[in-house]
Structures are given as structure tokens and as C-alpha cells.
Amino acid sequence: MAERVMRTVRDLRRSNRSLLLRRLYFDGPLSRQDLIDTTTLSAASVSNVVGDLIGDGLVAEVGSVGSEGGRPRILLQVDCPRWHAIGVDVGETRVLVELFTLDLAVLAREEYPLPDGCRDVAAVVDRIDSGLRGVLAAGAVRQETIIGVGVGVPGVVAHSPELGAVVHGQTIGWDAVPLERLLREAGGVRAHLPLYIDNGATTLGQAEMWFGAGRGARDAVIALIGSGVGACVVVDGAPYRGTGRSAGEWGHTTVQVGGRSCRCGARGCLEAYVGAEAVIERFREVGPAGSPSGPPAEASEEGALAAILAAQERGEPAAAAVLEETAVYLGVGVANLINLFNPERIALGGWAGLLLGARLLPRVREVAREYALRHAFANVELSLCQLGPDAVARGAATLPVAGFLAAGSRPPRNQSAS
Amino acid sequence: MAERVMRTVRDLRRSNRSLLLRRLYFDGPLSRQDLIDTTTLSAASVSNVVGDLIGDGLVAEVGSVGSEGGRPRILLQVDCPRWHAIGVDVGETRVLVELFTLDLAVLAREEYPLPDGCRDVAAVVDRIDSGLRGVLAAGAVRQETIIGVGVGVPGVVAHSPELGAVVHGQTIGWDAVPLERLLREAGGVRAHLPLYIDNGATTLGQAEMWFGAGRGARDAVIALIGSGVGACVVVDGAPYRGTGRSAGEWGHTTVQVGGRSCRCGARGCLEAYVGAEAVIERFREVGPAGSPSGPPAEASEEGALAAILAAQERGEPAAAAVLEETAVYLGVGVANLINLFNPERIALGGWAGLLLGARLLPRVREVAREYALRHAFANVELSLCQLGPDAVARGAATLPVAGFLAAGSRPPRNQSAS
DNA sequence: CCGACTTATTTCGCGTTGTGATTTAACTCG
DNA sequence: CGAGTTAAATCACAACGCGAAATAAGTCGG
């Protein structure tokens, strides 16, 4: 019963504009002829639609490809430098605002620390608003070229008809914060500028799908391991969110009935074994308390995890044991993803995932092979994420870009003197 | 980069035909006015499209609804008795062929036992072919009214451009059987009659989604427990299959690292705890070997499982312990589904699932609440399947019906004298 | 029983779309 | 420089959905 977005003959054109625009964006540059061959559109229609796109400044002709006795094909490309998107990463310790061109190259960035976490909503909104104005000024970019703003937040994002996007962030103490309304009231986001708010892990996954380890895959899982453990499940090219938008809670799937206690209250969660916090704790339990080889209490989790890896490097058996166990649980978790989702690709990311993965990936793959069904395992590619843990803002910026490509249109004109 | 099925203005009409047809099929009877109100189509278009549908014999006017001072609304309905679909269930012990009207009411059925399992492909094809001819004769139905044939098989179904649907069935010894080609060659399926072949668990899930426990849900999981354990994951109203079409292998997700051995070769699989075979085996291990209260070795798995339930009923501690453990593992498995998929609905089915669920569902729900994240658990409805374990054929018949509704058209005319 | 009123459905003219056929443009090669 | 070749644009046409207007089919009050 999916409501069609396709009724009038005009929507048909929009759909075809979008089709050509997407192909040019992801696979460009291409000639009109390439478009004719690879889409089912007729030559006449391609010519018409491309003409419109060029007229609207979305596409530009760029050089031509040599011919062998005929008229050369003119190459077309989306005019990426002309349009801009903004991505915002609301982290637990800082707000990052970045200005991108349409192909998501960074033009400007502003970063604001959040000393007391982001519990104070007004402060966060204020930082985001300053950041927006800041990057616009720094990039010397006109508002009219901005196609939209994407925001990645650490929480579940629901949508209500009146308030727009509403954020529920258990870890940062946000309870039903109407972030969309607050941001619009702050004024930095023009009234009719598209504003997309989504979970930060999802936007990171989206970034990996477009530009990183997930590139080209239809069905994939981006597994994110930080202090906690989550996953961005991509089905048919788009993140799958579930009914309450909280799908992908990989970290709280049980891999050991009656196992270690997890901070979620349950026992035997995957996160209780492979999350950074859990790995560090397990090492503390097993490892030498006041060992001279490593600082007994690292200031940061990053440091502590690095210390464990270093200890293993030096051949300390306690570290090796903890990491081996971690690899086994991680492999089991990955196998579960393989068996349930049968994805084309699985990428391990998050700061801890990258740190651990660099060392443990071969062993994780080995364990996953043991636990996953043969057929499904044979069809999956397991790798590390490629964009680093700071791609949340870039991922957030993919949201307006995706909207832009789907609509196949320039941003709505801002009405003067209304 | 999904290829649009929408290019010309004619496809637009097809899409709108399909939209109205689907609404009438699932929510009918409805008046034209209802359609105008609920589908963004204009009155003029609704009138035109409905006129076409009536002209093609797909829709019929059926009575009218009382008015209050104006012209009464004429009620429309899909002309279900006029069209037919066939569903085939290829089970491990028998082939079942059923003839349905478009609303999937049974008109005729033929059942053929398969004494030696369905290893002999030719025998199976022969039985299906006989069944097709049989139900057509028994139902006294003309070939032209058949919109298609759906077949549910116990295996993974791949699609190749040359051979059509190819079945890989590990449990029945089928290795790349080109069932589509074989069936077409047998002749019972006319050349241009749509033929859909899919995994039996998936078709069963589809049946539950349309007419059973999943009715009305967009995102759901139909969990099937028989001798083995599987699941049909429904995303956005359609079964999710994954890259290699083997998604939903819930039974082989690990819930106990280093736990019981599973027949898949891994350890700690969910199936090794809650599958019928596993439950029976666990009872044999724990229970009194030659207890006078129950037959020591039941002939069938159904009987053995029923005996365990009966033993618990009588207060035997061994049976109670095994079933309690089963409920815990089942609850954990369900919680994992909830956390990963965040579905709207989870239905427990399969012959063993229904048998166990009738007794254990409250306890399973309790355990799932403990292990699942609060938010996701609060949004899920956990119930038993409603159609029984024999709805595979009906589910298979939904495949051609879905195709019929999606295309919005009558089956292609069979060309005479070609 | 009639006429005003109300509501449902169909009809009509228009603007927009994609298409195939045709025309025009742009280049290579001898 | 002209024949040959391929790319892109143009044109006439048929089909579509839409808003407005016309028509159909009732109710209700008298």
C-alpha cells in the first residue's frame, strides 16, 4: 500500500530528471548517448531533460570524447562546484559544522567544544547556528546555492507533523527535543531550506555507502564500534530504520545467554564483549593490576584501548587473551549479521572498530566463517570502514544531496518581499 | 541506482491502475469518491481508470451506499470470483496444489505424497504438473482466467536470465535445479502464464502478512519453527531476501558462544536450543530414559514434542526444565530480532512454533522484554501465526496475485495460431 | 408528485509528457 | 573539400492527468 509519489505527467518528468541527475552524479561524466544506452529513455527525452538540467544550472557540458568518424559525444557532469550542502555532527563532546560542495568536498569547517556534554540543548542549538553562519561566511557562499542542511545527532530521531524532527537521546539526556523547530527559530536555517535530522550512526553509514567501504553495494551493514556498539543496516541502498527508527541495535543482541552484564541492563549483549568500554573493563579484570608495562588507568578510552593493543604487541598474555576473546565475539556478531541479513558487504567502523579491526580483522573473518552459513559467508565482503570516525558531518550532508538528487531540482527560490 | 520502471506516459497509467486496483483489493469495496479522497488522484482520472478496469473485467460495481440528499456512491470491488491463481507447496513429504479465486479462497486441491522425500526432481515436476491439470479440471476453470502460478519450495531460489528460477535445496538434495524450465517443459504451465517460484518459508510469511498475523504491518518478522528454525523478514511490506536470497537465517544466529553443537556445524545456534529436533534431544538427555509416564521414543517429531508438553502438563520436572530453557532461548532470539529489526510485529509460526508458542508465549514475551531495548520492545506486537503451518500454497498463490495487482492488468491474451 | 438542493460521476478542452522519424550539427577520412 | 558517420535537436503525434463544467441520481420539503 505504498502511496505512489507518481500521479501527474509532471511527476514523470521529475522522475526522469532525477534518474538522469543521479546517474550523472554517481557515474559521471557521461555523454547523452551513454544516458540513452543505459536508461530506457528515448534520445528525444534525454535531449529534452538534459536541456532543462543545463538550463537550470544543475548540469554542465564538460569537454567531449574523441570520435571515430562521427560527431563527438559531449560529456555531461553535475555542476558540483555551483551548489552546496551543509553537514552538522552533533557529538557528545563537540559540534562540527562543515560546508561542502555538491560532491562533498569540504569548503569550510567550524568546530565548537561542548564542555559539559550536549545536555544543554540551547547551547547546542546556539553552536549549530553560529557554525552555519560561520561556514557560510568563511566559504563566501550565497544562501541561494545551499541545497539543504543535514544534522547527525546521537539519538533516535522521530518525526511529528507539527514539530518536525524530534530527538530522543538517552545517552545525552535529550528527551523529545524538537531540534528542527529550535534550529528554524534560531534563524540560521532559512525558512524553506530543507533540513534533515538523523541519527549520527546512520549518517556515518550513509557516508560509507556513498564514498567508503559500502560503495556500490545494495545490501550492506556498517558496523560501528565505539564506546558502545551499533550498526547501520542498509537495505536496497537506503538505511533501514524500522518502525520506531531504532533498528540496527546490534550491540544489544545477545550472544551469550546469562553472560556478562551490559549497561543496558540485560546480560550477554555483544556490546558487553566488544564495545571499547567493555574491552577495557575485561582487561582490567584479567590483566595485571599495577603492571609496569602500561599505565594502570588511562585518561581516555582511546588511550586505554591503544594501551591494550600495545601490550598485546609486546606479548603480554593477558592482553592477547582479551583481544582473542574480543575477536571471537566480534566474529560471532558479524556471523549473526551475515546469517540474518545476507548482505553483500559488511564494514567495521567506529573509532574502536577501526583500532581493533586493524589488528583483529583476519581473526574476526576466520571466526565469522566458522559461525556463518557457508553460502551467505561466501557472498559477503568484510572490510574496515574507509572514512574514519569523523565522517558523520559528511554523512549528514549526504541527506540534502540525496533529497536534491531525488527531487531532481534546484532549491526553491526564496520569495522576495513576502 | 534503482532502474525506474516508469518512463513513458503510458506507464503512468499502469501505475495508477495498479494503485486503484490494490486499494480496492485490500480495502474494498470502495466508491469512486473514496478513491478520490484517499489517493491524490483527481476525480476525472479516477473515473477514467475505473472505467477501464470495469471494461477489462477486473472490477465490478456492487451495490451502492445510502446517501443523505445527494447521488449515492456506487461501490466498487475487484471481481475476485472471475480470476484465479494457483499455489503449489513442495514440501519434504508431499506436493500440494491448490486453485484459488483472486481473493485466495480455495476452489480445488490436489495432494500427492512423496514417499522418498522430494529428491527425485522428475517425480516432483510430474506431481506438480498433474496437480495443475487436476485442479483446473476439478475447478472447471478456463485457462484464460488464471493469472499465474506460484510455487513454494524448501530451498534457496536464485534467478538466472537463461534458466529462470533455479532451486538450491540442501535438505532435499537439490543442487541448482532449473525448476522453472522443467515446469514449463512439462506443459501444464502455458507458455506465457506467469510462474513464480520462491522459498516456502517466504511464501508462508507472505500469507501471514496478507491474511494472518502480519496483516497491516509494514515491518514484521514471521519466525518459523519446525524441525529447523527460520524467519521471513518483511521490510516495507515485502519479504527481504538479501544478496544471495538467504536472509532470515535466524535459526543459525549464535546465542551462546561455545554452546550446543548445531547440525550446521557451528555451536550455540538458536536452532540448537529451540528447534523441535533440538528440544526433543535435550529432553532425551535430561529426562527419565524409560519413564513410564511417556513413550520413550515417539515415532514422529510432532508426537515427541506433544509428549514433552504433556509431560510438563503432568508436572514432570524434566519436561518443565527443558521447556523453561526453551522459552528463555526463544525469548532471547525474539529480543535479538526486536533489537536488530525494530519491527512492528513478530509472529511465531511453524508447526513446532505453534505447538510451543501456545504454551510458552507469555514466558517468551517476558524474557524478550528483559533482553530487548525498552523502546523497541514497547513498539512490537508479539503473537502466534494465524494460518497454521499449511499456508505455504496460499502464500505461493499471493505471488501471482501481487504481480497481477502491481501490473494492474489482466493476464496476457494467449495468441491463437502462432 | 414536483422542484430545489445536494452529491457523485462523467465529459471536455488544455497543457505537458515521451516517442519515433526526420533534420541538423559536428567531426573523420581519403 | 566532399562523402561518410555519429550525435543531438526538432517536429508532429498520441496519451495522460487535471480543473471546470456538465450531467446523473438521489433526498427533502411542500
In a domain, A306, yes or no: yes
- Band of the pLDDT at B1, cuts 50, 70, 90? very low
Residues B370 and B228 in one domain: yes
Residue A43, domain member (yes or no): yes
pLDDT at B162: 87
Q: Among B245, B253, B370, select the one facing A339 at the smallest CB separation.
A: B253
The reply to whether residue B39 touches residue A3, judged by beta carbons under 8 angstroms, is: yes
Are A156 and B245 a contacting pair at CB < 8 A? Answer: no
Closest CB to B252: pick one of A219, A235, A339: A339
| Per-residue model confidence as pLDDT tens digits over A219-274 | 999 999 998 899 999 999 999 999 999 999 999 999 999 999 998 889 999 999 99
Note the CA–C1' distance, A404 to C17, in angstroms.
22
Lowest mean pLDDT among B6-15, B211-220, B405-414: B405-414
Instruction: Say yes or no: Cβ of A374 under 7 A from any atom of strand C.
Output: no
List the domain range (segments joined by +) for residue B41: 9-78
- Res B116: pLDDT: 72
Chain D positions with a protein C-beta closer than 7 Å: 4-12, 14-21, 24-28
Do A44 and A113 belong to one domain? no
Distance D20 C1' – B40 CA (angstroms): 18
Instruction: Judge if A245 and A310 occupy the same domain.
Output: yes
State whether A48 and A170 are in the same domain: no
Q: pLDDT value at position B289?
A: 54
Q: Is any atom of nucleic acid chain D found less than 7 Å from the CB of residue B16?
A: yes
CB–CB contact B242 A19 (8 Å): no
Q: Give the closest nucleotide to A75 (alpha carbon vs C1').
A: D7
Domain total in chain B: 3
Task: Please give the pLDDT value at position A1.
Answer: 42
The predicted pLDDT at position A416 comes to 36
Which protein residue lies nearest to nucleotide C26, measured between its Cα and the C1' atom?
Answer: A71
Residue A418 lies in a domain: no
Report residue B417's pLDDT band, with 50, 70 and 90 as the boundaries. very low
**More confident of the two residues B28 and A296:** B28
Last residue of a domain, one of B50, B78, B106: B78
* CATH classification of the domain holding B38: 1.10.10.10
β-strands A229-235, A146-153: how paired? unpaired
Q: How many angstroms is C1' of C26 away from CA of A56? A: 25
Which residues of chain B does A339 touch, with a Cβ-Cβ cutoff of 8 Å? 249-250, 252-253
The pLDDT, as a whole number, for residue B53 is 96
A376 and B249: CB-CB below 8 Å?
A: yes
In angstroms, the CA A120 to CA A174 distance is 9
In percent, the amount of chain A with pLDDT more than 90 equals 73
pLDDT at A13 over 70: yes
Q: Is the pLDDT of residue A417 over 60?
A: no
By the 8 A CB rule, do A53 and A17 touch? yes
Q: Quick check: A415 pLDDT over 60?
A: no
Q: What is the pLDDT of residue B413?
A: 55
Please determine, for residue A418, whether its predicted confidence score (pLDDT) is greater than 80: no
The lowest-confidence range among A337-341, A387-391, B135-139, B374-378 is A387-391
Asked whether residue A224 is assigned to any structural domain, the reply reads yes
Residue B336 lies in a domain: yes
Residue B322 lies in a domain: yes
User: Same domain, yes or no, for B396 and B256?
Assistant: no
Choose the final residue of a domain: A78, A96, A121: A78
- In this structure, the answer to whether residues A144 and A181 fall within a common structural domain is yes
A145 and A283 together in one domain = no
**Domain presence at residue B416:** no
User: Which of B222, B243, B375 to probe the A interface (max A CBs under 10 A)?
Assistant: B243
Mean pLDDT of B46-64: 94
B62 with B115, same domain? no
Report the mean per-residue pLDDT for chain A.
90
Q: How far apart are alpha carbons B189 and B187 in whole angstroms?
A: 5
In the structure, what pLDDT confidence band is assigned to residue B15 with cuts at 50, 70 and 90? very high
Least confident interval from A162-176, B2-16, B105-119? B2-16
From the CA of A46 to the C1' of C27: give the distance in Å. 22
Question: For position A388, what pLDDT does the model report?
Answer: 85
Residue B43 CB in 7 A reach of strand C: yes
Q: Residue A45 above 90 pLDDT?
A: yes
Instruction: Report if residue A412 sits inside a domain.
Output: no
Task: Output the pLDDT for position B198.
Answer: 95
Q: Compute the mean pLDDT over every residue in chain B, rounded to the nearest whole number.
A: 90
Distance from CA of A395 to the nearest CA of B (A): 18
Regarding whether B300 and B288 lie in a shared domain, the answer is yes
Cβ <8 Å between A342 and B241: yes
What CA–CA distance (Å, rounded) separates B51 from B46? 8
A136 and A224 assigned to the same domain: no
Tens-digit pLDDT profile for residues B207-253: 999 999 999 999 999 999 998 899 999 999 999 999 999 999 999 99
| Whether B247 and A9 lie within 8 Å, measured CB to CB | no
Cis before B295 (ω within 30): no
Give A269-324 pLDDT, tens digit per residue.
999 999 999 999 999 888 665 444 444 455 688 889 999 999 999 989 999 999 99
Nearest residue (CA) to C1' of C28: A69
From chain A, pick out residues whose CB is under 8 angstroms from the CB of B340: 231, 233, 247-250, 253, 340
Q: In this predicted structure, what is the pLDDT of residue A114?
A: 85
Domain with A378 in it: what CATH number?
3.30.420.40
CA of B5 to C1' of C13 (A): 30
Tell me: pLDDT of B383 over 70: yes
Question: Do B369 and B399 reside in the same domain of the chain?
Answer: no
pLDDT per residue as tens digits for the range B175-209: 889 999 999 988 777 778 899 999 999 999 999 99
**Of the candidates A7, A254, A373, which has its C-beta nearest B246's C-beta?**
A373
Per-residue confidence (pLDDT) for residue B120, from 0 to 100? 85
Residues A194, A328, single domain; the answer is no
